[in-house]
C-alpha cells in the first residue's frame, strides 16, 4: 500500500467518524488559531485577489482551507485524494465546490484557476516535484505553498528535536522523518523551488518564514484566555523566534508564492510590507520572456538575481495578543514546525 492509499483511507475514516477540524468544531481554540495564523500570512496576497478563483490541494480536513479562502476570493474548489470529507463539507455549506484529485494528474485544464493553495500537503507527497508542476499547470497566476521548510538545522536544532519528542511522544513521528499516516516528511526547499521556477522561465518568487508551536495536549484550550496552554504556546513560538534571530535555529515554516506572472508593483510592495522577500529570478537569455513578465527592474529587491534565495531567516511573526482581564473559556492535527 502506498502513501496515497493510506491517506485516502485516513480521510474516509475521518468522514465516517465525523472527526471535524477545530475550524468547525472549536473555532475559539488554540488549534484553530494555529491554522488561522498560518493562513493569515497570505493577507497581502488576498488583499489583492478580489474576484479570483482558487483551488486548494490536500484539503481533506473537510475543506477547511477552502472555507478560510471563501471570505476573501470569488470562488474556491477544494480538492484532496478522496472526496469523502469534502462531500460532507459541501452538505454542511462549508465548501461550494470540490473534487477528488490525485495531485500528480489533476483533471483540470491549463490555467483553470487563478491561484492554487497547498497548505501542509506538499510535504506528504511521495513525488512532490510532479505535484508542484501540476499545480503550476492549472494555475494562471501562481501557486502558494505553506509548508515546513528544509532550511538547515542550527546549533539549537538538537534541542528542538528533543523538545518535539518530549512534547509529542512516540519518537516525534519516527525521528521527525515520517508521519503516522504513512508519508515521509518532504520539507520544502525554497532554493529548489526557485530553481524549478527559473527552469520554467518564471521570474518571481516571494517568501517569508515563521515559527509555530503545536501540542495536542494544548490544542483544545481557548485561544483568548490566559492559561498554562496559552502561555506555553506563546513561549514556544517566542523561544524559536529568539533562537532564529541569533542564528542558532532555522525557522520551521515557509510561505512561498510562486508567480507565473510578475506581481503588480502595488502587490510587490504589500508583500514586502508583510514581511516577504520578493526575489527576481535570473532571466534565461536563450528563451523569450514568459507571458505576463512586465515588472520593471526597479521593483526587484536590491540584490543580485539568483536562483538560490539567501538562507531563510524568520520574518516578524504574530503571537497571541495579550488579553485583557481573564474571561471564562468560550468553548487537532499536527503541523510540522
Instruction: Quick: pLDDT tens for 108-127.
Output: 999 999 999 999 999 999 99
Instruction: Quick: pLDDT tens for 234-280.
Output: 999 999 999 999 999 999 999 999 999 999 999 999 999 999 999 99
Q: Quick check: 150 and 189 in contact, CB under 8 A?
A: yes
Instruction: Quick: pLDDT tens for 152-190.
Output: 777 767 767 767 666 666 554 546 788 888 889 999 999
**Angle value at C-alpha 93, between 135 and 77, nearest 5 degrees:** 10
Q: Which range, of 196-200, 285-289, 332-336, averages the lowest pLDDT?
A: 332-336
Q: Where are the domains of the chain?
A: 3-151+179-299
According to the model, what pLDDT value does residue 167 have? 67
Alpha-carbon distance 185 to 166, whole Å? 19
SS3 state of residue 234: helix
Q: What mean pLDDT is predicted for residues 30-54?
A: 98
Alpha-carbon Rg for the chain, nearest whole angstrom, is 20
pLDDT of 13 > 90? The answer is yes
Alpha-carbon distance 167 to 162, whole Å? 9
Q: Quick check: 65 and 56 in contact, CB under 8 A?
A: yes
Provide the sign of the torsion angle of the four alpha carbons 213, 217, 221, 225, taken in this order. negative
In the numeric block, the cell 485516502 is attached to 8
Sequence-ordered list of residues with C-beta below 8 angstroms from that of 16, at least 6 positions apart, any chain: 84
Enter the CATH code of domain 3-151+179-299: 3.40.50.150
For residue 87, the cross-strand partners are none
CA distances from 273 to 43, 45, 50, 220 (A): 11, 11, 19, 33
Amino acid at each position: 500500500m502506498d502513501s496515497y492509499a493510506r491517506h485516502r483511507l485516513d480521510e474516509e475514516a475521518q468522514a465516517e467518524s465525523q472527526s471535524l477540524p477545530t475550524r468547525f468544531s472549536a473555532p475559539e481554540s488554540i488549534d484553530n488559531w494555529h491554522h488561522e495564523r498560518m493562513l493569515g500570512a497570505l493577507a497581502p496576497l488576498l488583499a489583492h485577489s478580489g474576484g479570483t478563483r482558487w483551488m486548494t490541494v490536500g484539503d481533506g480536513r473537510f475543506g477547511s482551507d477552502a472555507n478560510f479562502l471563501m471570505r476573501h476570493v470569488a470562488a474556491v474548489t477544494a480538492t484532496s485524494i478522496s472526496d469523502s470529507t469534502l462531500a460532507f463539507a459541501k452538505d454542511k455549506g462549508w465548501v461550494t465546490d470540490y473534487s477528488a484529485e490525485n495531485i500528480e494528474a489533476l483533471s483540470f485544464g491549463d490555467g483553470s484557476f487563478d491561484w492554487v493553495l497547498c497548505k501542509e500537503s506538499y510535504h506528504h507527497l511521495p513525488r512532490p516535484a510532479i505535484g508542484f508542476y501540476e499545480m503550476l499547470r492549472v494555475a494562471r497566476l501562481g501557486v502558494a505553498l505553506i509548508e515546513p521548510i528544509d532550511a538547515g538545522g542550527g546549533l539549537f536544532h538538537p534541542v528542538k528535536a528533543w523538545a518535539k519528542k518530549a512534547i509529542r511522544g512516540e519518537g516525534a513521528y519516527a525521528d521527525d522523518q515520517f508521519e503516522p499516516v504513512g508519508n515521509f516528511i518532504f520539507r520544502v526547499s525554497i532554493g529548489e523551488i526557485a530553481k524549478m521556477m527559473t527552469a520554467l522561465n518564471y521570474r518571481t518568487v516571494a517568501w517569508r518564514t515563521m515559527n509555530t508551536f503545536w501540542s495536542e495536549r494544548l490544542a483544545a484550550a481557548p485561544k483568548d484566555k490566559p492559561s498554562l496552554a496559552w502561555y506555553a504556546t506563546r513561549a514556544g513560538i517566542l523561544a524559536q523566534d529568539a533562537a532564529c534571530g541569533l542564528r542558532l535555529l532555522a525557522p520551521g515554516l515557509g510561505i512561498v508564492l510562486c508567480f507565473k506572472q510578475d506581481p503588480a508593483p502595488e502587490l510587490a510592495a504589500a508583500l514586502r510590507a508583510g514581511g516577504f522577500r520578493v526575489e527576481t529570478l535570473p532571466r534565461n537569455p536563450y528563451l523569450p520572456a514568459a507571458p505576463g513578465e512586465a515588472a520593471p527592474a526597479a521593483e526587484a529587491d536590491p540584490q543580485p538575481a539568483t536562483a538560490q534565495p539567501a538562507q531563510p531567516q524568520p520574518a516578524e511573526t504574530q503571537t497571541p495578543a495579550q488579553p485583557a482581564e481573564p474571561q471564562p473559556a468560550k468553548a487537532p492535527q499536527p503541523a510540522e514546525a
